[in-house]
Amino acid sequence: MGGDPRAGRSSSRATPSPSATETADPATRARELVAKLGDEDLVGQVLMPYVYGTDANRVASSAASGNRKYAGVDTPAQMIAKYRLGGLILTRRTSDATGSTNPSTNIESPAQVRKLTTGLQEAAHALPAGVPLLIGTDQEFGSVTRIREAPVTQLPSAMAFGAAANSALTEAAWRAAGTELAALGVNVDFAPVADVLGPAGSGVIGSRSYGTDPKVAADQVAGAVRGLQAGGVAATLKHFPGHGHTTADSHTNLPVLSQNRAALNSGDLPPFQAGIQAGAWLVMSGHLDVRSVEPGVPATFSHKVLTDVLRKELGFTGIVVTDSMGMAPARQWPIGEAAVRAVLAGNDVLLMPPDVGAAHAGLLAALKSGRLPRAQLEESVTRILTVKLRLAGFAQPAMSAVGGAEHEAAAKAAAAAAITLLRGSCQGPLVSGRVTVTAAGGGWVRQREALVAALKAHGIEVVASGGKIVHLVGYGDGSAGLRSDAAVTVAMDTPYVLGRSSSPVLVATYSSTAVSMAVLATVLAGHARPTGRSPVPVSGLPRTTCG
């Protein structure tokens, strides 16, 4: 996966016959490697910071300045060498719900990402551990999608998959996504979101969730895990033990999970259980106050949540990674202290510490003093190296694996199965005569253009003004984005806004990708029947009018 394609394969060794270590299973090999690592290497393996710059070794002066302030180095490769890092996350400045934790942008194009990850892996292989990096990103699809540039296949949002409720389609689509991420050198995806939405919804989670039904969400999470990992990318279940039954945003507050333990077990944990059973290699801990387990303590720092519930009760044996350590609930302690507390609670990887040097120094001091038991740190690093060695068994796909008709077909099948009609007739076309396509705030230009082109391809006459209005409402648009004169209103994100629309026809796509617009046109023209069912309740409307 990225860098040296020989990593972890005995066939690449120069010795005439493989050693016992080379032929052993990944867990055994990991334990043998860990026994040889010094303190700084052990500490470095549990850190997964961000970096500034779009290349491992050559960065713009502004990126070098950012790296110096953050980690006392100029380049990403130097950061890996200085702190013996075990992983890095690729980030992108965005305006989505997670944007506040992304100070840097590492992503410009698929070819650039492949070159960057190759350089990062080369730097990692020069370290004493000699194992690949975990290189992660938040490729959830929908509103949180870090790599959007063509020819990368864009899947619909999690909520769209929940509306389709077909785990086979989910697995096929996420296998395509995993193959493409692996080709780019990204070997960890911080997805799927396993949060089940509560009745009130969640502004920060929204369409990132598969919906309000724990069973539907569990089926979809399991399908996504199987697909991603079949493609050679480690899946991450987040945000444990569930961010959906909250209204606060853990980026800036400590959300409270107030339900009792029985409700937590039945309403929040099933998708995590299903993902673990499907073989997920990572679980992300959430900055959440789980009142029924350990009141007042963020789950990220709760031994009872991460060790007693996640490991002992649910039987998870893989890597536990924190949510960003730069988020408000983790900033109540000094950076080094927070790092130590997180590891002692049961986390194996610390994501995006606000200061790499401070986190590294805090862990190293705790290790040397005995506060952080060496045996516990070795257990964490063994889990980390085990996953790395598993990933190294996958051959990195060529760049030609990115995009293509087969992957687009998988995305299209999922997007088509998601289209939901919440008001209107299921028989025949939903629009006729002359049509005008508009969007909230006059925006969503690419979506309008894509829908116009697709409608015309289906023989619909589209005019700039004066026709029956098909109005698009997307992520971030509320009631103010609605039009009272629209014949058709389409929700391209969560469908809640449709409950406040007076349009005679209401459609939900849950996504704004070009593929979602194409299949929307097919339904509007009457050439396909909408088969989706809203995975969340919408005030005053049925889950579907199509049975």
The catalytic residue positions are: 251, 323
Burial-class residue 258 by CB neighbours within 10 Å (0-12, 13-18, 19+).
middle
Is there a contact between 283 and 320 (Cβ–Cβ < 8 Å)? yes
> Tokens standing for 23?
């032929």
| Strands 488-491 and 468-473, sheet pairing | parallel
Is there a contact between 147 and 107 (Cβ–Cβ < 8 Å)? yes
Burial-class residue 312 by CB neighbours within 10 Å (0-12, 13-18, 19+).
exposed
Taking each helix axis as running N to C, give the angle between helix 356-369 and helix 335-345, from 0 to 180 degrees, rounded to the nearest 10. 60
Q: For residues 215 and 436, give the distance between their C-alpha atoms in angstroms, rounded to a whole number.
A: 40
Q: Give 454-486 as a DSSP string.
A: HHHHTT-EE-SSSSEEEEEE-TT--GGG--TT-
Is there a contact between 299 and 341 (Cβ–Cβ < 8 Å)? no
181: left (phi over 0), alpha (psi -120 to 50) or beta: alpha
Q: What is the C-alpha R_g of the chain?
A: 24
Q: For residues 9 and 394, give the distance between their C-alpha atoms in angstroms, rounded to a whole number.
A: 9
Which among 194, 127, 184, 183 has a CA at the least distance from the CA of 381? 127
| Strands 420-423 and 505-508, sheet pairing | antiparallel
List of E strands, 253-312: 256-257, 282-285, 289-290
The one-letter amino acid at 429:
P
Which among 483, 488, 481 has a CA at the least distance from the CA of 504? 488
Is there a contact between 13 and 20 (Cβ–Cβ < 8 Å)? no
Q: Is the dihedral of CA 236, 185, 44, 138 positive or negative?
A: negative
